Amino acid sequence: MCDLIKQPLVDRLPTEILAHVLVLYANDAFERRTKERHFTQWQSDIVYALRKGKSPYVFLDVTRRWRAVTLSCPGFWSNIVVGPRRKVKLLLERSGNCALYVFCLASDTEGHDTSDTRHAVLKLTLEHLHRIRSLQLIVRARDAGLEPCALYDTATAPLLGSLSIFFVEDTSQMHENIRKNPIRSIGAKWIAPRLLRLRTHGGSDRSTTLNNFVPLQLKDTLTHLVWLPAHSFPPRTPFSCAEDVLLVLKSLQHLETLHIGFAKELADDLSASQVTCAKLPYPRRLLLEGNVDICLGVLERLEFPELLQQFGVLVRRTSRRNDGMVQLTDFLIDFAQSQDWLSPNVPVRQF
């Protein structure tokens, strides 16, 4: 009885509960290490983000019981950070048939990687595409267009619910391939009937604009859409066309979050466009970036039956209206409230 009292409480937990606790910690550690806000630049941010969090694999060395529980719990191994030095094959085996949450660095952050190694690791991971529920892919400028072909081939992803593609700006390694980077085509041929969240940031494949991106043509299930440019390379990186956005939104009737970047130039005039209004039945967050005249032109052609919870416009060039930023912010708020998009008590995001 005395030995039982001295025994730590955590060791008295049933095996099922202990396994559940360990899985929760592993999931939290994975989320912290792969948060999107870390990846605004390549070298420093990504290396720091991947190293700062404690690895959940330390549980293997706590006690024999904990080691046995973790090794026999497939869910503990379902979060995979794909890298050239990771034991990806072992992780895939230990995860059994569990759904996978995958974070892929398309190249080594310390410069010791080779294209063959990177391709082999990503190819191995994509062989389990049918198990992947969430995929985050990070590509940097100097490696643009060097990803495995499996990212662009036709494939079935029955569990894929979230696809995030980030073209990370590597200012120390500017490369002409940035103009040819086909990152917008990644996943374009995948059959993903459960895709809810699609986020792309950067990259510039001019043949894959928003309106002809295959998943957007076929998906009426998307609830979260982010389509942003690589801001460090404005002359080479095309933004979304306002007319394309309106055409796409007509087929995305379940969107709750929309974050779009538009061209900075004033050439995208919607006044002569034949595109009619697009209706969003379930909006919650609306964030627009780019020229204010284009943003307002899109806003005037959107219909929201329900009130927005967050509304914002990031202005990147002075408007024809020549309003100051304070006046412009007030104008946008009044405009949104006049359209019955916002209640007076809802906070408006100001940039």
Q: What is the DSSP string of 160-196?
A: --EEEEEEE--GGG--GGGGT--GGGTTTTEE-TT--
Please state the rounded mean pLDDT for residues 315-319. 50
Give pLDDT, residue 48.
44
Query: pLDDT tens, 73-105?
Result: 888 888 888 765 557 888 888 888 899 998 887
pLDDT grade for 122, boundaries at 50, 70 and 90: confident
pLDDT grade for 159, boundaries at 50, 70 and 90: very high
Give pLDDT, residue 255.
84
Rounded to the nearest 5°, which phi and psi values hold at 154?
A: -70, 130
Question: How distant is the alpha carbon of residue 277 from its chain centre?
Answer: 27
Please state the rounded mean pLDDT for residues 172-178. 47
Give pLDDT, residue 79.
87
- Cα gap 74→90, rounded to integer Å: 12
Give pLDDT, residue 272.
58
Cα-based torsion angle of the residue sequence 277, 337, 327, 311 in order, rounded to the nearest 10 degrees? -70
Segment among 80-94, 121-135, 186-200, 308-322 with least mean pLDDT = 308-322
- Asked if residue 301 lies in contact with residue 329, where contact means CB atoms within 8 angstroms, the answer is no
Name the nearest CA neighbour of 163 among 118, 122, 224, 109: 224
- Cα gap 231→239, rounded to integer Å: 10
Amino acid at 13: L
> For residue 97, what is the DSSP state?
T
Kindly give the residue spans of alpha helices, DSSP state H, lying in the chain.
Answer: 2-6, 15-33, 43-52, 64-71, 88-94, 115-126, 214-218, 242-249, 292-299, 325-338
Amino acid at 122: L
Any bridge partners for residue 164, and if so which? Answer: 136, 199
More confident residue, 19 or 8: 19
Name the nearest CA neighbour of 299 among 315, 285, 278: 278
Greatest pairwise CA separation for the chain in angstroms:
84
- Asked if residue 256 lies in contact with residue 280, where contact means CB atoms within 8 angstroms, the answer is no
**pTM more than 0.85:** no
* Most confident of the following: 148-152, 198-202, 265-269, 322-326: 198-202
- Asked if residue 64 lies in contact with residue 17, where contact means CB atoms within 8 angstroms, the answer is no
Question: What percent of the chain is modeled with pLDDT above 70?
Answer: 50
